[in-house]
Amino acid sequence: MKSTANTLLRQWSGPLSADLVRTLGNFGLGQVPARLMPDATAKMVCGFCSTGCGLTAHLKDGQAINLSPDPDYPVNMGMACPKGWEALTPLAAHDRATTPLLRNPSTGKLEPCDWDHALQVFTLKFKALLDQHGPDSVAWIGTGQITSEELAFLGALGKFGMGLRHGDGNTRQCMATSVVAYKQSFGFDAPPYTYADFEQSDVLMFVGSNLCVAHPILWQRVLRNKNSPEIIVIDPRRTETAMAATQHLGIAPKSDLVLLYGTAQALIERGAVQQEYVAAHTTGFDEFSNFVQQFTAEVTCKCTGLSHAAFEKFVSSIERGKAVSFWWTMGVNQGHEATRTAQAIINLALMTGNIGRPGTGANSITGQCNAMGSRLFSNTTNLIGGHEFTNPEHREKIAHTLGIPMERIPTQNSWAYDQILDGVQAGVIKGLWIVATNTAHSWIGKHKDLLSKLEFLVVQDMYSSTDTAQQAHLVLPAAAWGEKEGTFINSERRFGVLKKVARAPGQALADFNIFRLISHYWGCDGLFREWTSPQAVFQILKRCSAGQPCDITGIEDYRHLEHAGGIQWPYPAGAQDNSRERRLFENGRFFTPDAKARFLFEPPKPVPEPPDAEYPFTLLTGRGSSAQWHTLTRTDKSDVLRKLSPSKLYVEINPRDAKRLKLSAGQQVTISTRRGETQASVLITATVQPGNIFLPMHFEGTNKLTLPVVDPYSRQPSYKHCAAKIC
């Protein structure tokens, strides 16, 4: 069987006959290629978070039997968090999807079928919907968890091949705000930093970021900083990172925008503006300066709840810092005025000249392992390679580069995730294809019932047991990280290589191969003749990136990436810079037409759902522990990781509130919002302020409660704030 599978792998670059497709489905393509068998080790990047640590897989008979952190990789230098050490365990879980599953209309149950039948049904059902209801009627939701090559294939297949108008990624839930903020301020979605900046700052400011827990290896990079830095955490909750900081600004929830504007005003009053830098490299500072005059220290302290002394100390730290770096994550991105908050951070970096130098920057830290790949190559709201659908020159370039007719490229952006789900609610979208994400669990507000409105739901995932897969009409079994090859891009713009070091179970196929099969069944494989392997698609992505800020035409191939320890974009053809840590904007030139960064601002808005007499608490959400990942589909498979985190939902309550409500530790309570209710056990702790409660985001019960409001610019959900009560 092994030699047959390998023969088929070799044939895979040729045209696909129906027989071959059937046989491929029967044998599966998730098998480890023979060329990997003799190796004792294989180096690759981790498949959980955006840190992008290098791991070494230790092989026996070509199969990974263990992992260790790579001491030579410039990201993690021999360190890994618990998820990285346990990354192989989820592959062996009993609930892996091993065969396509089709829902039997008579029994209502998902039943196994072969790939040929599954893909015929996929094609017939979606084509029928498109024929009857038009190109808005079928959409896809992707992910930041599959490779860049797969994301590009999904996006190209969906839009150019299948003729769908709408597709978005679960990256909308975590990174859309940073994308929009950077595009508007810098002219391109361009996180400017390199991880060395953690070690080179003398002041580090973290806004809405629990780095210790969410990005533990990046916190280790902070701890390597030899400058005895001032570490400032701005967060309403006293997180693990706040406890380790030199200053914790425990502000009122969602008062961060006022604090940032007030800080700008205080710095202006102190004459701490780098006028030369502002004049040479930015636009809009005078208007910004006029605007922030209203945010006096008094206004700022009243709104945020900070003491004048704490505020003054904080401003002085920024003023005195020689290399100040400003970092943010989901506490900023997941808010009702998130884009302007991110830009208020960017404004501070610009006005103080803290950008483009070691230890500086306005730095968004990404979430998922390939959120950055999704941002650049998924062909959803950006045309492949950070281009614009609305720009005819961009469409022409990509059409020419891919060898496809220009008419196949939409002239408008896709609907965003929330708009796609609104389309489902309104009955406009009748077919949905969800790839490697658990929408029913993770989407904001009450959502589970929404998917039942669909006439045809396809879920492509490594597990058939997720909340979302359990609602599907068709489940396509996918290979996991470690069972396929490709590239991820980490938070600091570094391409890293993923290797195939394990067999996918049963008939599970790499997402790449599933897309290839679908293109064949759909009848559009002629558009994808060159898309024969991840390595071939990497060459296509290189060509698409040419001339863009993310130009990678100088990267030769996967081997080059591996030998270099990953390579950060940009790396254009002829690049001579072999340094392993590179940052953007060292020359003060941004990606806007006039090469200047823009000061962008707007009056703060009240929170959409403030606490009131009926719902008197403010519900905050966030990560639980470094051993948990998102909806727990993978991390819950590991005995080790389960032991490192609470198994049941808990709610953090301040001791004063617990006393007032006569609650005791461990007591089961009901947390309710206007969307629903969930059970949680009481954890009495001063990490939350009186009047606030906190739920970890990894449990479905939490996301039933959150408020389905999005930032108007990024359309990213505002998970972090709503009104709640405890019963």
What is the closest distance, in whole angstroms, from the C-beta atom of residue 643 to ligand SF4 in the complex?
17
Q: Examine residue 49 and tell whether it contacts ligand SF4 (CB under 6 A).
A: yes
Strand-pairing partners, residue 124, are: none
Strand-pairing partners, residue 494, are: 568
Beta strands 247-249; 230-234: pairing state: parallel
Q: Which helix (H) or strand (E) holds 122?
A: helix 115-133
What is the closest distance, in whole angstroms, from the C-beta atom of residue 52 to ligand SF4 in the complex?
6
Q: Examine residue 457 and tell whether it contacts ligand SF4 (CB under 6 A).
A: no
Orientation of helix 392-402 relative to helix 534-545, angle to 10°? 150
Q: Examine residue 497 and tell whether it contacts ligand SF4 (CB under 6 A).
A: no
Q: Which stretch binds ligand SF4 (CB under 6 A): 43-51, 340-348, 566-574, 647-655?
A: 43-51
Residue type, 510: A
Binding mask 368-407 for ligand SF4 (x = CB under 6 A): ----------------------------------------
What is the closest distance, in whole angstroms, from the C-beta atom of residue 369 to ligand SF4 in the complex?
7
Nearer of residues 82 and 335 to ligand SF4, judged by Cβ: 82
Selected from 25, 70, 74, 83, the binder of ligand SF4 by CB under 6 A is 83
Is the separation of the CB atoms in 268 and 292 below 8 Å? yes
Nearer of residues 52 and 192 to ligand SF4, judged by Cβ: 52
| 103-122 positions binding ligand SF4, by CB under 6 A | none
What is the closest distance, in whole angstroms, from the C-beta atom of residue 146 to ligand SF4 in the complex?
16
Selected from 24, 217, 537, 669, the binder of ligand SF4 by CB under 6 A is 217
What is the closest distance, in whole angstroms, from the C-beta atom of residue 247 to ligand SF4 in the complex?
25
Give all strands (DSSP E) within 371-479, no chain letters.
Answer: 431-435, 456-461, 474-477
Q: Examine residue 48 and tell whether it contacts ligand SF4 (CB under 6 A).
A: yes
Q: Which stretch binds ligand SF4 (CB under 6 A): 45-53, 326-334, 517-525, 638-646?
A: 45-53
Nearer of residues 52 and 236 to ligand SF4, judged by Cβ: 52
Q: Residue 95: which of 468, 462, 460 has the closest Cα?
A: 462
Edge-to-edge order in the sheet of strand 494-500: 483-489, 494-500, 567-568
Is the separation of the CB atoms in 537 and 557 below 8 Å? no
Helix (H, G, I), strand (E, B) or coil at 115: helix
Backbone phi, then psi, for 257, in 5-degree steps? Answer: -65, -40
What is the closest distance, in whole angstroms, from the C-beta atom of residue 645 to ligand SF4 in the complex?
14
Site residue total, ligand SF4 (CB under 6 A)? 13
Selected from 25, 30, 52, 361, the binder of ligand SF4 by CB under 6 A is 52
Nearer of residues 154 and 498 to ligand SF4, judged by Cβ: 498
Which of left, alpha, beta for 266 (phi over 0: left; psi -120 to 50: alpha)?
alpha
Strand-pairing partners, residue 621, are: 695
Cα distance between residue 109 and residue 111, in whole Å: 6
Q: Examine residue 623 and tell whether it contacts ligand SF4 (CB under 6 A).
A: no
Cα distance between residue 179 and residue 97, in whole Å: 33
Q: Which stretch binds ligand SF4 (CB under 6 A): 46-54, 60-68, 116-124, 377-385?
A: 46-54
Nearer of residues 256 and 485 to ligand SF4, judged by Cβ: 485
Is the separation of the CB atoms in 130 and 138 below 8 Å? yes
Nearer of residues 51 and 468 to ligand SF4, judged by Cβ: 51
CA distances from 669 to 143, 655, 682 (A): 34, 15, 7
Q: Residue 346: which of 364, 334, 329 has the closest Cα?
A: 364
Selected from 25, 30, 62, 84, the binder of ligand SF4 by CB under 6 A is 84
Binding mask 63-82 for ligand SF4 (x = CB under 6 A): -------------x---xx-
Helix (H, G, I), strand (E, B) or coil at 696: strand
What is the closest distance, in whole angstroms, from the C-beta atom of residue 15 to ligand SF4 in the complex?
39
Nearer of residues 53 and 555 to ligand SF4, judged by Cβ: 53
Q: Which residue has the tokens 């909806």?
A: 631
Q: Examine residue 46 and tell whether it contacts ligand SF4 (CB under 6 A).
A: yes
Selected from 28, 142, 216, 335, the binder of ligand SF4 by CB under 6 A is 216
Helix (H, G, I), strand (E, B) or coil at 435: strand
Selected from 25, 31, 51, 284, the binder of ligand SF4 by CB under 6 A is 51
**Which residues, 6 or more positions from 470, have their beta carbon under 8 angstroms from its beta carbon?**
110, 440, 464
User: How many residues in the chain?
Assistant: 727
Give all strands (DSSP E) within 538-625, no chain letters.
Answer: 567-568, 597-598, 617-622
Q: Examine residue 53 and tell whether it contacts ligand SF4 (CB under 6 A).
A: yes
Nearer of residues 395 and 698 to ligand SF4, judged by Cβ: 698
Is the separation of the CB atoms in 91 and 501 below 8 Å? no
- The residue with its CB nearest to ligand SF4 is 84
Q: Which residues bind ligand SF4 (CB under 6 A)?
A: 46, 48-49, 51-53, 76, 80-81, 83-84, 216-217
